[in-house]
């Protein structure tokens, strides 16, 4: 195999595994401390990363260096991608198990307490906070936005249902949520435009 053909093969594999793991060139660049321009050159086959960088990339995708250097019809399901789904789901399941446990404890041992069901309402923003943490770790901007939105409205809902009998005007909290939601939406759009411009440079 000629050098040019080998470079092209490796470049195609690098691009294929990157897309399979839902990484942009910018995100990958941040993870391996290289510029997105360098990654673009690698994927075009103009040049190749050194062995150390190839090992970094392979470990990130949960594959071997050989997988990046040989022809493949379809990428294997990477361990990293499975972990990205399984870990947040497991964390959220633990939150709901705790919520169920607390519900039965409050129902069985706290007399005249008719709001034990609030444990399930509180579990929603708690789950959203965990999802936000993992989406920040895995740099999934869409999940970050959805998590923040869920946190805003479910925290307001929790306060509403908890104190509705004490504060008659607590419904006004929902009016606070509207500008906060709009602010995060604008921030999300702004970050999307900035990343798009950086990618096109």
Question: Which residue did the predictor score with more confidence, 198 or 89?
Answer: 89
55-71 average pLDDT score? 88
| Residues 50, 48: Cα–Cα separation, whole Å | 6
Largest CA distance in the chain: 80
Closest to 92 in 3D by CA, of 121, 118, 140, 125: 125
- Tell me, what's the pLDDT at 85? 76
- Tokens representing 130 are 């965990």
Split at pLDDT 50, 70, 90, the class of 36 is confident
Q: What pLDDT digit, counting tens, does each position of 17-28 carry?
A: 988 888 898 889
| Residue 171 DSSP class | G
- Tokens representing 99 are 């919520």
- Residue 97, H or E segment: helix 79-109
- Tokens representing 46 are 């103009």
**47 in the Ramachandran plot: left (φ > 0), alpha (ψ -120 to 50) or beta?**
beta
Split at pLDDT 50, 70, 90, the class of 80 is low
């Amino acid at each position: 195999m000629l050098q040019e053909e080998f470079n092209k093969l490796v470049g195609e594999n690098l691009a294929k595994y990157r897309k399979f793991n839902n990484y942009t060139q910018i995100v990958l660049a941040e993870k391996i401390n290289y510029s997105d321009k360098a990654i673009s050159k690698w994927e075009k086959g103009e040049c190749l990363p050194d062995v150390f960088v190839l090992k970094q990339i392979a470990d990130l995708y949960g594959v071997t260096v050989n997988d990046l250097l040989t022809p493949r019809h379809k990428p294997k399901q990477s361990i990293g991608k499975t972990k990205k789904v399984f870990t947040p789901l497991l964390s959220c399941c633990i939150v709901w198990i705790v919520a169920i446990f607390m519900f039965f404890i409050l129902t069985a041992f706290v007399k005249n307490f008719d709001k034990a069901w609030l444990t399930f309402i509180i579990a929603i923003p708690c789950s959203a906070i965990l999802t936000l943490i993992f989406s920040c770790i895995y740099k999934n901007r869409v999940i970050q936005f959805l998590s923040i939105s869920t946190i805003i409205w479910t925290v307001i809902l929790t306060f509403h249902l908890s104190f509705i009998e004490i504060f008659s005007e607590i419904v006004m909290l929902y009016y606070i949520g509207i500008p906060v939601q709009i602010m995060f939406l604008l921030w999300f759009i702004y970050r999307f435009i900035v990343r798009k411009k950086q990618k096109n440079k």
